[in-house]
Amino acid sequence: MIALDDTKLARVIGDFPILARPTSRGKRLVYLDSAATSQKPNAVIETLDTYYREYNANIHRGVYEIAARATDEFEGARAKVARFINAAPQEVIWTRNATEAINLVAYSWASNALHPGDVILTTELEHHSNLVPWQLVAQRTGATLRFIPVDARGELVLDDLDALLEGVKLLAITHVSNTLGTITPLERIIPRARAAGATILVDGAQGIPHLAVDVRALDADFYVFSGHKMLGPTGIGVLYGKRALLEAMPPFLAGGDMIRNVEYGRASFNDLPWKFEAGTSNIADAIALGTAVEYLQTLGMDWVRAHERDLLAYTLERLAPFESRGLAIYGPKDPSISSGVVSFNFADIHAHDLASILDTEGICIRAGHHCTMPLMDKMGWSATARASFYVYNTTADVDALVDGLEKAARVFKL
Ligand code: C6P
């Protein structure tokens, strides 16, 4: 169990300046919404500051000193991210976020590779970002969508997986559910999808911030994620793709930087990864994502996972007595198959009212459908309250959440 006097944890908390700022009501900030976006450590903030103060220049163009430094740092950050996921730098494409990375694959790969009658297999857990692009692909190509079902505990039902995989050209699956925290058993699913001949895309938006990811060991064809959920800035994300697939795909967006040669009537395209990076890139944020990755590596992803698992176990223990008072906790109640997310409803208090009461105590949670409307409909929930953890959370944050629930019970006379 986590000790609050853990010096490593204390050091981590000290790295996040926002956590030292009281709210306007004078409360300690208890940030339990890292699944929406994570807070940023000093190292990341300083990287952004240094770029703009010391070497702001466009990349791949200027020959002067600060432009060369900007290019080196930008490509250096790509190499750091590549090492973090065990990929080659050419296989790491900068995007704005996970959503844009999925859309890149939907337009560049799926629109060409899929045909009428082909099947896209996804799951009932997906975030809209890993569902709506495939609905549009199905409309464009005549492919159909099929779903791996989810059970009442929020776990995927794999009993009929081989039948579900028949005729499947694309498996698009989340690594971790943003609404329930479920870690999908990719190690069991991907080999069977591979044997069935499917191309595999993993939505890693909630996976890579919390779990060690080795894309080669995972054997996904595409793995996408957002920098802002893993201590990096907003506006920068990654599409990892296997080199042979990326080589064969046409460009998604066209313009500067992605070309080799242009004539008035035609153009040829740059090598990987730049073929997919049209226009001036998000230079500062890419460099700062490199710093975020280094920060996570210094902590150690095993420590990150163990810390969040302990915190989840502690949370479930502290929330258990509320269940007899009308608290419904959703998702797997087993920290070994769940990432740091707890979704719940408390008696008949609307999730938004609960979030507002917690806000008065400085506690930040998310309430609503979490961009998983089909999952909410299937489960029969109009909204849930969601607390999500990261490296800087402590048992004191969980205790604050519990005190906040007691306050809500008083306000609503439960
Ligand atoms: N989920 C949440 O509060 P972007 O917006 O592209 O950075 O991430 C999209 C996305 C894709 N997949 C999963 C599993 C996600 O959780 C998210 C973002 C946030 O749950 C914001 S809706």
For 282-319, what is each residue's pLDDT tens digit? 999 999 999 999 999 999 999 999 999 999 999 999 99
Residue 23 pLDDT more than 90?
yes
Gap between the Cα atoms of 122 and 195, Å rounded: 17
Gap between the Cα atoms of 194 and 25, Å rounded: 54
Residue 15's Cβ-side half-sphere holds a number of Cα atoms within 13 Å equal to: 22
Structure tokens at 363: 């506690």
Atom of ligand 1 nearest to the CA of 178: 16
Mean pLDDT of 264-279: 97
Give, in order, the Cα–Cα distances in Å from 234 to each of 188, 191, 342, 413.
Answer: 32, 33, 24, 40
Gap between the Cα atoms of 171 and 299, Å rounded: 32
Residue 5 pLDDT more than 60?
no
Q: What is the pLDDT of residue 61?
A: 87
Q: What is the pLDDT of residue 6?
A: 77
For 157-197, what is each residue's pLDDT tens digit? 999 999 999 999 999 999 999 999 999 999 999 999 999 99
Give residue 36 CA to ligand 1 midpoint distance, Å.
Answer: 7
Gap between the Cα atoms of 236 and 290, Å rounded: 11
Higher pLDDT, 11 or 1: 11
Residue 66 pLDDT more than 90?
yes
Give, in order, the Cα–Cα distances in Å from 312 to each of 82, 83, 155, 343, 401.
Answer: 29, 29, 17, 11, 13
Q: What percent of the chain has pLDDT over 70?
A: 99
- Nearest-CA neighbor of 172 among 114, 222, 227? 222
Q: Which CATH number is 46-298's, of 1.10.1660.10, 3.40.640.10, 3.30.300.20, 3.90.1150.10?
A: 3.40.640.10
CB of 122 sitting under 6 A from ligand 1: no
Give residue 205 CA to ligand 1 midpoint distance, Å.
Answer: 6
SS3 label, residue 141:
helix
What CATH class is the domain 7-31+300-411? Answer: alpha beta
pTM value? 0.98
- H/E element holding 367? strand 366-368
Give residue 308 CA to ligand 1 midpoint distance, Å.
Answer: 19
Give residue 130 CA to ligand 1 midpoint distance, Å.
Answer: 9
Alpha helices in 149-282 (DSSP H): 161-164, 186-195, 215-218, 243-248
Residue 15 pLDDT more than 60?
yes
Q: What is the pLDDT of residue 4?
A: 42
Residue 403, judged by CB atoms within 10 A of its CB (0-12, 13-18, 19+), counts as: middle
Residue 404 pLDDT more than 50?
yes
For residue 2, give the DSSP letter. -
**What does the mean pLDDT of the chain come to?**
97
Ligand 1, atom 1: closest residue by C-alpha:
36
Residue 206 pLDDT more than 80?
yes
Residue 347, judged by CB atoms within 10 A of its CB (0-12, 13-18, 19+), counts as: middle
Domain with CATH 3.90.1150.10 in the chain: 7-31+300-411
Domain with CATH 3.40.640.10 in the chain: 46-298
Q: 364 an active-site residue?
A: no
Q: Give the strands of the sheet with 168-174, arranged side by side.
A: 92-95, 237-241, 222-226, 199-203, 168-174, 119-123, 144-148
Residue 3 pLDDT more than 80?
no
What would the DSSP string read from start to end of 180-191? T-BBP-HHHHHH
Residue 360 pLDDT more than 60?
yes
Q: What is the pLDDT of residue 342?
A: 98
Please, are residues 262 and 172 in contact by the beta-carbon 8 Å criterion? no
Q: What is the pLDDT of residue 62?
A: 85
For 211-243, what is each residue's pLDDT tens digit? 999 999 999 999 999 999 999 999 999 999 999
371, 373, 376, 390, best to mutate for ligand 1 pocket (most atoms within 8 Å of CB): 371
For 109-160, what is each residue's pLDDT tens digit? 999 999 999 999 999 999 999 999 999 999 999 999 999 999 999 999 999 9
Gap between the Cα atoms of 88 and 31, Å rounded: 35
CB of 179 sitting under 6 A from ligand 1: no
Please, are residues 367 and 352 in contact by the beta-carbon 8 Å criterion? yes
Residue 320 pLDDT more than 50?
yes
- Nearest-CA neighbor of 202 among 213, 90, 192? 213
- Nearest-CA neighbor of 84 among 208, 205, 203? 208
Residue 22 pLDDT more than 90?
yes
**Per annotation, catalytic residue among 183, 371, 398, 401:** 371
pLDDT band of 78, cuts 50, 70, 90: very high
The 3-state DSSP composition of the chain as helix, strand, coil percent (nearest 5) reads 45, 20, 35
Mean pLDDT of 84-98: 98
